[in-house]
Structure 1
C-alpha cells in the first residue's frame, strides 16, 4: 500500500513522505481525504507545503524557522488537533474525576464506561473507519446496561481490561495519538465482547462458510 501511494502521489517530489509506516497511520484512525486537484494546486503554487517547528508573521507573509525570506500568503491553516480528553475532564469540578480521564488513550471500559465513574457513559470517544457503526453498537450495549441486563465487573477487573486495550493500541498505533482507535480485527473482537455481554452469539453469520470467508458488515449486528 505504501508503494502504491508513493507511486500515484508525488510525495517524494514535495518532501511529504511520512516517517511512520502506513499501518501505524491506519491503526490510529488518522485517515485524511485528499481533493482530486490537491497536488495540481501544489504544482501551480497556490498551495504551499512546508514543515517547520516554529514561525512568525510579517507584514507580507510568514517566515519559517529555516528561512529568512517571507513567504507571501493569504491564508494560514493551523493543524492543531483536538484534545478530546480535556473536553470530557472539564465536565467535572472534582480534580479527582478529572484525573481519571487524563493520562490514557483508552480510559473507558468497553470504550464507553469509566471504571471509576460508572454512572457516566461516553459514546463517540473511540474512533474507527466507520464511526456510526461503532457508536451504534455501543449504544445498544448501553441500553442493555441501563435495563439491568448487563452487570459490570469489579473496578479492578475493568481497569485491567482497559489497560490491556491501552497496551495493544499503543503497540500498533501512533504513540503520539491520544484518542482510542478501533480498527481491523480489533473491531471484530470488540463487537464480539459486546455481543457476549448482551447475551448474543458473537458469530453473526448464518452458517460457517460466510463465517470463515465473508467480511463482517453493520447489517450483521442489526438484530441486536
Structure 2
C-alpha cells in the first residue's frame, strides 16, 4: 500500500538500481515484481519470495480465456456450485453435478499447465483451479512475466515454511539461523490485507467490533447481501466481498444500498437474519467471496430492488443460461 501511494517518480527512485525482494505471490505482488523487473532488468533482478503459488493466467491467451469464461461463468455454470441459503432442489442439483464441476476444473488446469511454463519454474499451485475460483485465489499475470523470469530479470524463491524475517543485508527464508538468505536493499511486503481488522477499526466500542465480524477470519462475514449487518443497520459496507470483476458488482452493491435508503428494500429482522446466517455458514466459500456465483448474487439484488434478474433482453433463453453477464446487462438499473 505504501508503494502504490507513491508518486511515479518516488516509486521509481525507490526501486531503480536496487536489489528488491517482494514477499507474496498474489496479484499485487506479481504486479510489483514485474514493475521492478522492467525498471532494473537482469542487472538488478527482482526476487519474488512466495510460500504457495496461485493460479495466475496469461493475458495473451485471449481466445482461450474467452472460451473458459463462457465455460466457467454465467447462470448455467453456477448451477454446479453450492450456494448459501439455496433450496433443496438447487442443493441436490449441485451435488449431482459435482463430477462435471470436477471435470471442468481439471480440464482448465491441464490447459493452463500445457500453455504456460508453470512446471518449469515451480509455480504449479498445490490446490485446484476450482478451489481457487471459489475463494478468488486467482488472477491475471503481468504481461511477459515468464519471459522476464527466463531473462533473469525476475528470480523466484519458494519459502518452504514460515518467512524467516530480516537480516543485516536482506531477508531470511524458512525461519531459523540456517535459513537461506536473499540479499536486498528494499523489501516490499505484498502479503495480503486484513479486511476484518479494518472493519473492526471503524468502531470504538468493543461490543460493536465483535458484532460486525464476530467469526474466525477464514469464515464468511455475516453481512446481509454482503452489505448490511441487521444488528448495525445504520452502516452499509460496499466492496467487502471478493470477486474477479470488482467494479460492476460493487456498483450493484451501491445501487442496492441506495434502494435500501429509499425504503424500497426490506432488511430481515434479527431473528430471521440469524437463521439465514446459520444456513450460509457452511464451508461453501472461503471468506466473503462471490466470484463463482456473481450472477446468482446479482439476481438476488435485482429481485430486492424490483428489477427482473433476466437481463439478456431479446437474446433468448439460451443466452440467459450460457452467455456470461457483464456491466452492460445491468446498465438500466438506477
TM-score, reference length from structure 1? 0.84
User: Structure 1 residues 42, 73: closer, same or farther in 2, change over 3 A?
Assistant: farther
Contact 1:195 1:202 (C-alpha < 8 Å) held by counterparts: yes
2:182 aligns to what? Answer: 71
Of 205-214 and 188-197, deviating more is: 205-214
How big is the shift at 1:63? 3.5
How big is the shift at 1:15? 1.9
Contact 1:107 1:162 (C-alpha < 8 Å) held by counterparts: yes
1:183 aligns to what? Answer: 291
The 5 Å alignment of 1:13-52 reads 13-52=120-159
Structure 1: runs of 5 or more not aligned: none
User: Structure 1 residues 156, 13: closer, same or farther in 2, change over 3 A?
Assistant: same
Select which of 181, 202, 215 maps to 2:324: 215
How big is the shift at 1:55? 2.3
Of 99-108 and 68-77, deviating more is: 68-77
RMSD: 2.3
How big is the shift at 1:32? 2.7
1:193 aligns to what? Answer: 300
Of 198-207 and 76-85, deviating more is: 198-207
1:136 to 2:251 alignment: yes
User: Structure 1 residues 116, 32: closer, same or farther in 2, change over 3 A?
Assistant: same
User: Structure 1 residues 76, 47: closer, same or farther in 2, change over 3 A?
Assistant: farther
Contact 1:115 1:158 (C-alpha < 8 Å) held by counterparts: yes
How big is the shift at 1:69? 5.6
Contact 1:127 1:134 (C-alpha < 8 Å) held by counterparts: no
Q: Secondary structure at the match of 2:189?
A: coil
Contact 2:169 2:185 (C-alpha < 8 Å) held by counterparts: no
User: How far, CA to CA, are the matches of 2:321 and 2:181 in structure 1?
Assistant: 59
User: How far, CA to CA, are the matches of 2:167 and 2:305 in structure 1?
Assistant: 60
User: How far, CA to CA, are the matches of 1:60 and 1:22 in structure 2?
Assistant: 37
Write out per-residue CA displacement over residues 22-69 of structure 1, whole angstroms, 9 at most, x where no aligned residue: 111122223333223322332333322222223244444433238656
Of 69-78 and 12-21, deviating more is: 69-78
Structure 2: runs of 5 or more not aligned: 1-107
User: How far, CA to CA, are the matches of 1:93 and 1:182 in structure 2?
Assistant: 29
User: How far, CA to CA, are the matches of 2:208 and 2:185 in structure 1?
Assistant: 44
User: Structure 1 residues 160, 40: closer, same or farther in 2, change over 3 A?
Assistant: same
2:275 aligns to what? Answer: 160
User: Structure 1 residues 17, 92: closer, same or farther in 2, change over 3 A?
Assistant: same
Alignment coverage as a number of residue pairs = 216
How big is the shift at 1:74? 4.2
Q: Secondary structure at the match of 2:235?
A: strand
